[in-house]
Structure 1
């Protein structure tokens, strides 16, 4: 079993829970949930039975202590989680519409997560060539972007598989939109890329086929393009295809994408090395689709519940979802090691 080390932000999601009329006002009631895309992915891996580490920084404040405790309670390895002595923990207020879709209001000005420094990165992170996973929220400021570049370079020196969930949050960037060149620089250095359809359209700047081809001519081995409940598409250097996620009743989409990528990273971490040597997995569409289908069910399970950490499914819940939707689990079990 490989470790999955998730680098980036852990923050508080304040999720709109209720509205209360108190004339002449309508008051919003928010419930505090642990979150942050890389932290969510780490918990997703751990709840499925994998070994996940979280590397990042929170404030030495009540919110930071809550996040550290929450990660540990879900059995995420927090050896590489730091607490900044003065900077505060990042906060996000999450508003949901009637379909469960989200909008975010971030409080993230010089917070602890973006003050993480290169000196805090150690070779210990990359012992035994783990899978490294990160997102674009550690690219929004120059210093943390340089630190992220340093992390990726360290990972490559240790032959780690590098996963990048683009996960653009344009309102976190000073210019009001993500820096295309900065994000694409990390896209080109990563082995596994996950885009939403909107993110792909934005970064490709109008020529998706040429952009995907160029990515696969760099270090990229697998590109995943999600589109909410619609068709998931994948591209490798030798095969491409699509599959349909299961249809479910949506309560909150907050953890859907992180559950999906976390489920896929968990599956990769369980594979015998032979499937990753010489990119065998990425040349066999049937095996790849087996793992992607598992990951899609992880994402589908997560959106049926509110919040992030609590909504992420364990392995039994995901296997039950597969069976309930008429999916055979024998091919999955043949690929994965037992995690019981």
Structure 2
């Protein structure tokens, strides 16, 4: 973690102050969201937590870089076109004739609620490799962001470790979203141990309330927060849906109520929340007191709430 070095950079290091941009490492998806309860017609959207954060960072006017491997299939071309439309720099993505971008099918149940139905990955071992990372990018970026989506595969994990090492070497702020999808993991224990080990190296971490309970094996939020405090994460954000969010910082817990809206699709709300947090840290720096930190979270709650008022994660 480099939060102290980052604060010092903000105070006066001119070369560090010139660092700009959020680098997102991950895997792009195509979300196929059912158009009705027959679950036979779909609307196509670009998706994936790291893509969602990269897009929203760009919309906040922050230089946004995305790192992944892209193929030549229709889904890859759809993703590349969407990212370019959002002014995201994909120059550091690596082309691959073998890679096929994953599809996620999201269905509607009888109550009209959306749920994950099927995950299709035809090239499960096609990931960005360590030698395909461009080190110089980390020299210019300010925030490095990733999630557990690159930790369940050994090749992707090694690439993530190298990217994290570059981020630490160049004194970037490190942001991590647990974003746990247990169907990808060999076991719950492997997921729990690996995610927790990477959380320890981050300056900003986001988890959902359910993820907090899972990672700490706690039965209540209070118990989970006590256990999580042992990791000494500088800023831990816990999203709680319409109830809002809380943040654990310096041993103190701050609750910030949510914003009431008429939700249509909650897909990507947490990503919108975290992108808003990162935008505040990028533009205004590490909060100087609890009042400023609370303002950051309140703003993020608003952005997350607005994200639920239309279909699609973006």
TM-score range, shorter chain: 0.7 to 0.9
CA distance in 2, matches of 1:144, 1:290: 35
Shift of 1:177: 7.4
Preserved contact between residue 251 and residue 305 of structure 1 (Cα < 8 Å): yes
What is aligned with 1:5?
23
Show the 5 A alignment for 1:208-247. 208-216=224-232, 220-237=233-250, 239-247=252-260
CA distance in 2, matches of 1:209, 1:130: 28
Structure 1: which 4+ aligned runs deviate by more than 4 Å? none
Preserved contact between residue 38 and residue 135 of structure 1 (Cα < 8 Å): yes
SS of residue paired to 2:301: helix
Shift of 1:76: 1.1
Q: Deviations over 1:47-104 (max 9, x none)?
A: 1222111111222211101101101101111111222211211111112444645324
Q: Deviations over 1:265-323 (max 9, x none)?
A: 1121111xxx43xxxx1x511001111111111111111000123xxxxxxxxxxxxxx
CA 177–253 in structure 1, closer or farther in 2 if over 3 Å, else same: farther
Q: Does 1:144 align with 2:162?
A: no
Q: Does 1:187 align with 2:192?
A: no
Q: Aligned pairs, how many?
A: 291
Shift of 1:225: 0.5
What is aligned with 2:79?
67
CA distance in 1, matches of 2:252, 2:63: 29
Shift of 1:238: 5.2
Preserved contact between residue 170 and residue 177 of structure 1 (Cα < 8 Å): no
CA distance in 2, matches of 1:74, 1:225: 28
Question: Gapped runs of 5+ residues in structure 1?
Answer: 20-25, 310-340
What is aligned with 2:14?
none
Preserved contact between residue 64 and residue 83 of structure 1 (Cα < 8 Å): no
What is aligned with 1:317?
none
Show the 5 A alignment for 1:58-137. 58-97=70-109, 98=111, 100-111=113-124, 114-137=126-149
Shift of 1:116: 1.4
Preserved contact between residue 2 and residue 270 of structure 1 (Cα < 8 Å): no
Q: Does 1:288 align with 2:278?
A: no
CA distance in 2, matches of 1:175, 1:16: 30
Preserved contact between residue 129 and residue 159 of structure 1 (Cα < 8 Å): no
What is aligned with 2:169?
157
CA 185–306 in structure 1, closer or farther in 2 if over 3 Å, else same: same
Q: Does 1:301 align with 2:296?
A: no
Shift of 1:126: 0.9
TM-score by length of 2: 0.87
CA distance in 1, matches of 2:112, 2:144: 33
Preserved contact between residue 240 and residue 285 of structure 1 (Cα < 8 Å): no
Preserved contact between residue 229 and residue 251 of structure 2 (Cα < 8 Å): no
CA RMSD of aligned residues (A): 1.9
Q: Deviations over 1:185-233 (max 9, x none)?
A: 10111110000010011111225144222121xxx21000111111411
CA 244–158 in structure 1, closer or farther in 2 if over 3 Å, else same: same
Shift of 1:140: 1.4
Preserved contact between residue 104 and residue 116 of structure 2 (Cα < 8 Å): no
